[in-house]
Structure 1
Amino acid sequence: MKLHWSPRSPFVRKVMIVLHETGLVDEVDLSRNVVAVQMPTPEAVLADNPLGKIPALVTEDGRRLIDSRVICEYLDLRAGTGLYPVEASARVAHLNWQALADGMTDVLLIWRTELNRETGPWQAVVDGWRVKVRAAMARLEAEAPEMERMPFGIGHVALVAALGQMDFRWPDCGWRDHFPQLAALAARLAERPSVAATAVEDDQGSDSGALTRGQLSFRA
């Protein structure tokens, strides 16, 4: 298999965690790609994902899978790992956590891109994103005890990727000081081998927080 990959992408990290959990990581060749909305899309990525996004996975039989949610479920089904519970209530809980964490990650990524605009960010939009991220973190804090009780699954995978991106791109936001239950859960998840092996790496040597410092605070 071939995976269009970046060590900085939170959605690629989701896939990499699942690859480690399923034992399939050695069956995938990683193709390094730099993808951003303000940059031309690499032809290699566009050939396998018409939306020009990563991750994108090409299977041995040539099937092209796009979006981390599709890829992660495919890998779990293939390996029979059980990251997607069979029992309905647990499955819905994990899928809902994935949707919440993925949605927050989307906001964080597009927010940082907005800060790059030559004319400056659209303040009303930025203010709206700030409200949504705060609300998402509050919901995750409230549900952290339930996540703690649940066996490791796709909801935890998405949460790790979202919080990892927050640490990488928004390093001064101090979220751990305001969400102690979520911080404790994140610390325990960080000890898991699949999570430790996929820590975000800035292989481009940029100042990841230069644009975002002071932009996100959880103070009342």
Structure 2
Amino acid sequence: MPPSMADRRLYRGSSAEERKAQRREQFIEAAIRVYGAQGYRHATVKAVCEAAGLTERYFYESFSNSEELLVASFQAVKDFLFGELEKAGAGSPGDALERTRTVLQAYYELLQGHPQSARVFLVEISGVSPAVDRALVAALEAFGELLSRTITPRTRGGAADDPLLRAGVVGGVLHIGLSWISSGYTRPIHEVVGAALRVCLVLNPGVVKPGRGGGV
């Protein structure tokens, strides 16, 4: 039986929505490349459209302005990054200390392996507008929660639940990454991870078992 007119409209509508969603993803991927290469403040809508291979008409179909695209790009990077970190932690067979080390190793490897995404996550999102800052604050809080869950998987409370300490730890982990990137990745990654791990121990100092000789 041929589809009804209503069915055909539904199919056409679904197809149109799928195409719109695909174009939106093209813009986000293009924005990450453009912002990562030349910076958000030096990028134009035209440059992003050219990188996406789409016209400005399609840009405004999905985004009201460049800030909205910046937030969407940041969210895409954040979702990918945090997803990879969750997988790294879940796949680590060690104790809480070793899981945290594994997560940090994955984090810095991702920053090094995806420099354009790293710039969007660490640099371009900061200080654009209050709306963009809210997206950043929410992401940093989520990062703090992820690190806290990793280093204190069973016993919560105390330092691990202190939002100020978590914010300080996240700031330290991020700034270690920024310093490493700015240096051209001159320090070996295990040294970078070791420095960040010592910062994370603020959340759970007791995770270092006697007999480690103070080392992490």
Q: Same fold (TM over 0.5)?
A: no
Higher relative CO (CA 8 A, sep ≥ 6), structure 1 or 2?
A: 1
TM-score, length-normalised on structure 1? 0.31
Task: Work out which of the two has the higher radius of gyration on C-alpha atoms and give 1 or 2.
Answer: 2
- Which protein is richer in strand relative to its size? 1
- Which protein is richer in helix relative to its size? 2
TM-score, length-normalised on structure 2? 0.31
